Structure 1
Amino acid sequence: MSLDVHPQLLRALRAVLETGSLTAASERLGFTQSALSKQIATLESAAGTQLFRRGPRGVEPTPAATRLAARAVTILDQLDAASRELAAVDAPLDGRVALGGFPATAMRLVPQTIARVRADYPAVEIDFLESSTPVQIRRLRAGRLDLAILGVGAGLPEWDLTGIELEQLPSGSLLLAVGARHRLARSRHVAVTDLAGEGWIAGRGARGEPQFGPWPTLAGPRVVAELGDWSTRLGFVAAGLGITTVPRLAAQSLPAEVTCVEVDDPDWTGRSMTLARIGALPAPAAAVRTALRHEARRIADWTPLSS
């Protein structure tokens, strides 16, 4: 079966999934609820399967809806990118975008994104502000940022994100960073039990700012040093003075004397990156968003074995 539908039907699907109700989705898209219901019905007919069931708290997506929506995000991103590229033929994109990210994003994700935008849209300027997630949220609310890359998930505070629009970025799993001479350096995967007794190099920042350090589910880790920036922490790891954790988005920027190892941990539910904004994005910021998603996917698909 070939699924050939109008992009608006995919936008309707995404809006219902994100809002959880036909009423909220219709308000977001500017349609009446009746018109939106017809769009969903048309999409279900084209797909040949039910996409939503009515539940006590609104509509509930079927597995088919979730799977189709994952594809829809990519399709709509590509259509948006094509639209911007066509518009740029007669009107080159220009403007300034304020982008925020926590320190680990500055190791690869943000520089690669800036380089990509600069190549595609030379007149777009990106001002990058590196700071922790809580600081970024404050800057976003104050209008000092157009886009902010936030860290969310297990072991992190429940940030107040009221009024902020969120979209998950590909991020990949947490990794273990060890010195090249460490006993685990040649392992592809290790169990959490293999980490018992290790000395850990932890990050140090202002109170309430999350830091990378001991493996999150490890009971009673022994912290041998708390250091303020990544270069210092990784220098200690390279010298064999301890081990630490790193997000996959930073793994390709490690010193040659540091290697990454996967950790098998059924108790770790993981963390993720979220791209945050308030209100509609102007064209330059939308171009940065597209580049961020592309680079984040490339990084998330990388594995230590592929290096």
Structure 2
Amino acid sequence: MFDSRHIQTFAEVVRTGSYAATARDLGYTQPAISQQMKALERAAGTPLFVRAGRGLRLTDAGRLLARHATGILSSIETAHGQLKAITRLESGRVRVCAFPAANATLLPATVARLAASHPGIRVELLEEEPPDSLRALREGRCDLALAHSLGDDEEGVIQVPLLDDPLLALFPAGHALAGSGRVGLEELAAERWIAGCRRCRGHFLAACARAGFAPDIAFTTDDTLAVQVLVAAGAGIALVPGTALPLLRHTEVVARPLTPALGRRVSAFVLAGHETAPVTALLLRTLSEAAKDLEPAAV
């Protein structure tokens, strides 16, 4: 394995034609230059120079290495510059895996902040519900996952809480409870429901059980627009997260808070040790800032 410092010195010896001139230009002693070239020859496994009168002549191996030396040093310099750019947050890429409501609300606010403060940072989005988002994180398909209500701590994963996301009851505008201030979940025992995917409804089912009933789930969809249309049509009612409020555009649906309040914790997750990487740390800070602005609207 070549030492880049030795390659740099070698290139200078090739340019000057002598150890003495190289030592003078680089500020070393001549024996130090000689020792570096001997170390480089040991790494190469063959002589690189032969004496030619008072100067030096490259061997065939030396000429081969000389042809590559400029490219090697240029690549090192380019890599160093790119690393400095990443460290200074002038460039970089971060991959985020998030659930649909976050991709439609929290992530756009975060990306807008990053674009204003660090335009060289590129954010790539992947959509998965938990626990698939955590699986994507562990498999290296993303650098950061946004998820909710995961329960126990994940081994080897750092969790950064961002916001508490209340769940709201969604009614058709003409429903008897649409004008209520707050609605008790037990009041909804006789309703038909539109629920999310089977893997994502555990929190909902547990809350209904505590309220003393098993919900009549008539439709299953994770599509926010489909939920609104179904509710407006009177096909059932639904629970929606507060973060989805900006997505409720249908004029014939009404969202009401529950009592006692139900909600979920939205957090960012990164692999342990990765939270200090410059781009990841920047994204975590920006997510926290965006979440503070979003949370009041979600309550």
TM norm structure 2: 0.63
Asked whether the equivalents of residues 202 and 227 of structure 1 are also in contact (C-alpha less than 8 Å), the reply is: yes
Asked whether the equivalents of residues 162 and 268 of structure 2 are also in contact (C-alpha less than 8 Å), the reply is: yes
Query: Is 1:271 aligned to residue 268 of structure 2?
Result: no
Query: Is 1:256 aligned to residue 253 of structure 2?
Result: no
Query: Is 1:216 aligned to residue 210 of structure 2?
Result: no
The structure carrying a bigger helix percent of its residues is: 2
- SS of 1:275's partner is strand
Query: Is 1:112 aligned to residue 109 of structure 2?
Result: yes
Match of 2:227 among 222, 229, 233: 233
| Residues 1:102 and 1:211: Cα distance change in structure 2 (over 3 Å) | farther
CA deviation string 1:230-267 (max 9, x = no partner): 2212211122221111111112221232221011127x
Asked whether the equivalents of residues 89 and 279 of structure 2 are also in contact (C-alpha less than 8 Å), the reply is: no
Letter in 2 for 1:190: V
- SS of 1:104's partner is helix
Q: Supply the distance in 1 between the matched residues of 2:110 and 2:184 (Cα, whole angstroms).
A: 34
Q: Report which of the two structures shows the higher radius of gyration computed on alpha carbons.
A: 2
CA deviation string 1:48-75 (max 9, x = no partner): xxxxxxxxxxxxxxxxxxxxxxxxxxxx
Deviation at 1:91, TM superposition (A): 4.7
Letter in 1 for 2:154: L
Deviation at 1:228, TM superposition (A): 4.3
Deviation at 1:185, TM superposition (A): 1.9
Quote the residue 1:170 is aligned against: 163
Q: Supply the distance in 2 between the matched residues of 1:233 and 1:211 (Cα, whole angstroms).
A: 18
CA deviation string 1:9-46 (max 9, x = no partner): xxxxxxxxxxxxxxxxxxxxxxxxxxxxxxxxxxxxxx
Letter in 2 for 1:302: A
Letter in 2 for 1:188: G
Letter in 1 for 2:296: D
TM norm structure 1: 0.61
Quote the residue 2:297 is aligned against: 302
| Residues 1:159 and 1:137: Cα distance change in structure 2 (over 3 Å) | farther
Deviation at 1:210, TM superposition (A): 4.3
Asked whether the equivalents of residues 96 and 125 of structure 1 are also in contact (C-alpha less than 8 Å), the reply is: yes
Structure 2: segments with no counterpart, 5+ residues = 1-83
Deviation at 1:159, TM superposition (A): 5.9
Deviation at 1:192, TM superposition (A): 2.1
> Which is further off, 281-290 or 94-103?
281-290
Q: What is the total number of aligned residue pairs between the two structures?
A: 209
Deviation at 1:131, TM superposition (A): 0.2
| Residues 1:212 and 1:233: Cα distance change in structure 2 (over 3 Å) | farther
Deviation at 1:213, TM superposition (A): 6.2
Q: Supply the distance in 1 between the matched residues of 2:239 and 2:135 (Cα, whole angstroms).
A: 27
CA deviation string 1:61-118 (max 9, x = no partner): xxxxxxxxxxxxxxxxxxxxxxxxxx99x95521111011112212211122112211
Query: Is 1:180 aligned to residue 173 of structure 2?
Result: yes
Alignment of 1:137-156 (within 5 A): 137-152=134-149
| Residues 1:223 and 1:210: Cα distance change in structure 2 (over 3 Å) | closer
RMSD: 2.7
